[in-house]
Amino acid sequence: MSLNPTLPRFAVLQLSGCAGCEVSLINASEWVEKYQLVYMPLVVSTHAVPEDTEILLVSGGVRNDEDVWNLRHAAEIVDRVIAVGTCAISGGVANLGDRDDVRAMFMSQASRHHVPHLLPKSHPIDAFVDVDLYLPGCPPTPELFMGALTGPENFEASSIVCQECGRKKLKDMRPTHLVGFQQGEVLPDICLINQGYLCVGSSTRGGCRAICTRPGHPCVGCRGPSNAYIEKESSVWFDRVQKVFENMTDIPPEEIREALHSPQLSMFLFQFTDYQGGDRPPRPKEKVL
Amino acid sequence: MTTLRFPLSRIEGHARVEMEVQDGKVVSAQFQAIEMRGFRYFMLGTPAEQMPVIVPRICGVCSTAHHVASVKALEDIFEVEPPKLAKEIRELLLLGQLIQNQATSLFIFTMPDRVGASSIFHMDESEADPEQQLSLAQRALKVRQAGTNLITLAGGQFIHPIKAIIGGVTSGIKPEPAQKMLAEMEALLPVVCTLFDEYWEMSLKMKERIGTWGDDQPAYYIASTGRTGLELNSDMIRILGPNGTERASFPPRQFRTYLDYQDTEYSYAGQTSYQGEVMRANSLARINLANATGTPLADEYMQKLTHAFGKPAHPILLFDLCRGIELVYAFERAIEMLSQDLEYEDPSLPYALKDGEGFGLVEAPRGPLIHHYTVKEGLITDAEFIIPTTHNMLAIERALKVAGDRYVTPEGINLELEKAVGRVVRAFDPCIACATQ
């Protein structure tokens, strides 16, 4: 908590998002002794990224023309750009608006004249600037933030959420249907798939320490696919989830397929490859923490 | 005509203030929300049961309030009443949110104004004794962390909680983690009180420095807390008149009868009024509307405030002191609840999907929050989010005008205005991510 000039200087640029990533960063108080926070409008009264900033964390998606300007300008100044959270990586929850009917409503009802103008859709930040590291999560945990700041080589994690969860997989407990997304009692210590929940932790990248599945909520895949799938089309990931359910349950495959395409999963499941209509190259796994 | 534009920091989300000045007089003061993502549009077609997991993403600061309001709106449609234990766990969740939020607003957003620093992370650059400032910041962050820990314990995830479900919550709280949380909060309660005492002193000093408590004209107040306690999970909204008499009390289903809503061209957020009158939501409204907080230490602070400023109290910088009272209350109430059994019954009831229209109300840190959904064949066909910050929009603009009139004269513009604009806006602790969604 000081202005020691020898500490590395970092800035946090908030684009259109929910500030959950920033709140998580504030929770990760260990950086306070090791880094110097020079710009983050949520907590610091400065109105521009200073010239000698080294690291730029960007949260939120690009939703309006001011986001574009702020992003381009800040990225030019710094040495290293880190895309933080699902919105910066893929547009996140705002990407659910990437539908013709919704876009028409935005343009006809939501736009305003006297304020930054909305773009027709939400964009990931690497549509505008080069990104050195992607930090997926909605939001990434404080521990992941520290990993991103200090360097991925110092961060140890399992490859998938399943390995961090610790719930037991049972051979003889095979549900025949998915239980309603929010319905039913959750048994402790037993795999959520055995209990009929649509949990995608079996191929979602680890590092979050399974904070959702341990208290009993199925993994929605907010960290994106594990390294095995990250450079492939999301259909490969979907097939993999499908296979896990075929092996562990007697739920009809169509039921799984339909559920996987529902909004609350798809806003996370598409975040690495089929973003931007699938016309961009995949992000290399070496650049993802 | 000159337009003054003030960027804002240390608030939640993207907003700015524009003042039009002509012949040394402020002609207008606009509070502009300058971002929008469009939840009310892109939620259409979403399976209703997924709302409680998606809508916390409206705001990472107020996520808990959205999570619970969403579940309550769906319970209204599916006609299921959650068990008592579930309501208790949800109250703990909302208390965690209140602690995290009020600590953030008091110590991260507004305390730097009181010590002359740019942020809580740069307190040693302030004019006061560096050692003392550092200790202040460290204690403040610890208090805030306790709120986050309580959200994690009661909500399952630390930013976007997951444990509230239609019909209840996924699980109670086991004795061991409850005891651990209890111990943490009991140890911190005296720290909270000392911090608040220091904050109170700093605020009084600031009064002398700026010579005013800001816009102190009477206003209407809106809150959904009780008359004898700061309950956060009630089902009625109340309106207090400027002279302290209650003007209305209504369930969320009737909000349109009492509240007028309008959009503006200069902001992505709308504005509400009570039948055309300026009203205020957030901490000052709750304290003005309650005769007591319901816990001993917080009640003492409440009496101290009433003794000093009367009731209802109107100066806007009292919002901050009321936040402090609520911070003490939330600690005391959570300590009470964590001392009891939190696993005594099945925490959820079954329900069946059905069509209909429903309303979910919670008292968020910034005021009453309503989620209003229509469901057909399991899908959302209409979603409306009535956000506490919009209830404060007209009051913010009125207070900005007061600040403008004070610092803009025919002789010139006093540069103190920029700081005053920041202090005025922060007093209301607006949330722009929520207000625009």
Range of the domain at B44: 2-436
Interface test with B, best of A182, A190, A211, A222 (most B CBs within 10 A): A182
CB of A180 less than 8 A from some CB of B: yes
- Cβ of A45 and B10 within 8 Å? yes
Give ipTM to 2 decimals.
0.90
DSSP state of B11: S
CB A85 within 8 A of CB A17: yes
A231 touches chain B (CB under 8 A): no
Using the Cβ of B80 and the Cβ atoms of chain A, whether some distance falls under 8 Å is answered with no
Whether A44 and B9 lie within 8 Å, measured CB to CB:
yes
Q: CATH number for the domain including B304?
A: 1.10.645.10
Residue B240: pLDDT above 90?
Answer: yes
Instruction: Verify whether the Cβ–Cβ distance B35 to A116 is below 8 Å.
Output: yes
Instruction: Kindly state the average pLDDT of the residues A31-54.
Output: 90
How far apart (Å, rounded) are the C-alpha atoms in residues B242 and A288?
56
pLDDT of residue B69: 97
pTM: 0.94
Gap between the Cα atoms of B120 and B9, Å rounded: 13
* CB-CB under 8 Å, B351 with A183: yes
Task: Find residues 63-82 of chain A whose CB sits inside 8 Å of chain B.
Answer: 63-64, 66
Residue B174 has pLDDT above 80, yes or no: yes
State whether B433 and A19 contact (CB < 8 Å). Answer: yes
CB–CB of B364/B388 below 8 Å?
Answer: yes
Q: What is the mean pLDDT of residues B129-138?
A: 74
Q: Is the pLDDT of residue A182 over 70?
A: no
Round to whole Å and give the CA distance between B355 and A134: 41
Lowest mean pLDDT, pick from A200-214, B18-32, B130-144, B340-354: B130-144
**Length, in residues, of chain B:** 437
At residue B208, does pLDDT exceed 70? Answer: no
Is any Cβ of chain A less than 8 angstroms from the Cβ of B166? yes
Residues in chain A closer than 8 A to B63 (CB atoms): 18, 20
A217 and chain B in contact, CB less than 8 A:
yes
Torsion-angle region of residue A10: left (phi > 0), alpha (psi -120 to 50) or beta? beta
Name the residue facing A139 among B37, B159, B348 (closest C-beta): B159
pLDDT at B125 over 80: no
More confident residue, B64 or A262: B64
Nearest-CA neighbor of A169 among A213, A225, A230? A213
Q: Tell me how many domains chain B contains.
A: 1
**The predicted structure's pLDDT at residue B207:** 64
pLDDT for residue A181? 59
B135 touches chain A (CB under 8 A): no
**What local confidence, expressed as pLDDT, does residue B106 receive?**
94
A23 touches chain B (CB under 8 A): yes
Closest by Cα among B420, B416, B347, B356 to B86: B347
Say yes or no for a CB contact (<8 Å) between B41 and A105: yes
Q: What's the mean pLDDT when you consider all of chain B? A: 92
Residue contact B267–A115, C-beta within 8 A: yes
* Complete domains list, chain A, with CATH: 9-154 (3.40.50.700), 156-278 (no CATH)
Rounded Cα distance between A269 and B243, Å, is: 54
Name the phi and psi angles at B252, rounded to 5.
-55, -30
Tell me how far apart the alpha carbons of residues A141 and A255 are, in angstroms, rounded to a whole number. 32
Contacts of B433 in chain A (CB under 8 A): 17-19
Any A CB within 8 A of B28 CB: no
Please check whether residue B437 touches A, CB under 8 A.
Answer: no
Interface residue of A36, A37, A43 to substitute, partner B, most B CBs within 10 Å:
A43
pLDDT interval class at A1 (50, 70, 90): very low
Q: Give the orientation angle of helix B84-103 with respect to helix B318-338, to 10 degrees.
A: 140
Q: What is the mean pLDDT of residues A6-18?
A: 93
Task: List beta partners, residue A14.
Answer: A59
Range of B11-20, B112-121, B153-162 with top mean pLDDT: B11-20
What pLDDT was estimated at residue A186?
81
- Percent helix, strand and coil across chain B, each to the nearest 5: 50, 20, 30
Confidence of residue B415 (pLDDT cuts 50, 70, 90): confident
pLDDT at B210 over 50: no
B73 chain-A contacts, CB cut-off 8 A:
none
Contact list in B for residue A184 (CB cut-off 8 A) is: 350
Q: Which ranges constitute the DSSP H helices of B292-383?
A: 296-309, 318-338
- Give which of B3, B31, B37, B381 to mutate to test A binding, by max A Cβ within 10 Å: B37
Nearest to A66 among B34, B42, B351 (CB): B34
Q: Which of A265-269, B9-13, B163-167, B389-393 has the highest mean pLDDT?
A: B389-393
Q: Which of residues 311-370 of B touch A (CB under 8 A)?
A: 346, 348, 350-351, 353
Say whether pLDDT at B1 is over 80: yes
Task: Tell me the nearest-neighbour CA distance from B204 into chain A, angstroms.
Answer: 22
Q: Do A110 and B36 touch (CB under 8 A)?
A: yes
Task: Determine the residue of chain A that is closest to B144 in CA distance.
Answer: A27
Between helix B175-210 and helix B416-428 the angle, nearest 10°, is 150
pLDDT, residue B128, reads 63
Q: Which residues of A touch B58 (CB under 8 A)?
A: 18
What is the mean predicted confidence (pLDDT) over B106-110? 92
**B37/A16 touch (CB, cutoff 8 Å), yes or no:** yes
A165, A177, A190, A192, B28 from A172: Cα distances, Å: 20, 15, 12, 14, 71
Q: Which residues 137-166 of A have a C-beta within 8 angstroms of B? A: 138-139, 141
Q: What does the pLDDT look like over A250-268, one tens digit per residue?
A: 999 999 988 888 777 777 7
Residue A68 has pLDDT above 90, yes or no: yes
Q: Measured between CA atoms, how close is A130 to chain B, in angstroms?
A: 24
DSSP assignment letter at A233: -
CB contact under 8 A, B42 and A122: no
Position B381 scores a pLDDT of: 96
Cα–Cα distance, A162 to A194 (Å, whole number): 13
How far away is chain A from the Cα of B212, in angstroms, using its nearest Cα? 22
CA A228-A166-B156 angle, 5° bins: 100
Note whether B134 contacts A92, CB cutoff 8 Å. Answer: no
Output the average pLDDT for chain A. 88
Model confidence at B189, in pLDDT bands (50, 70, 90)? very high
Measure B97 CA to nearest chain A CA, in Å. 12
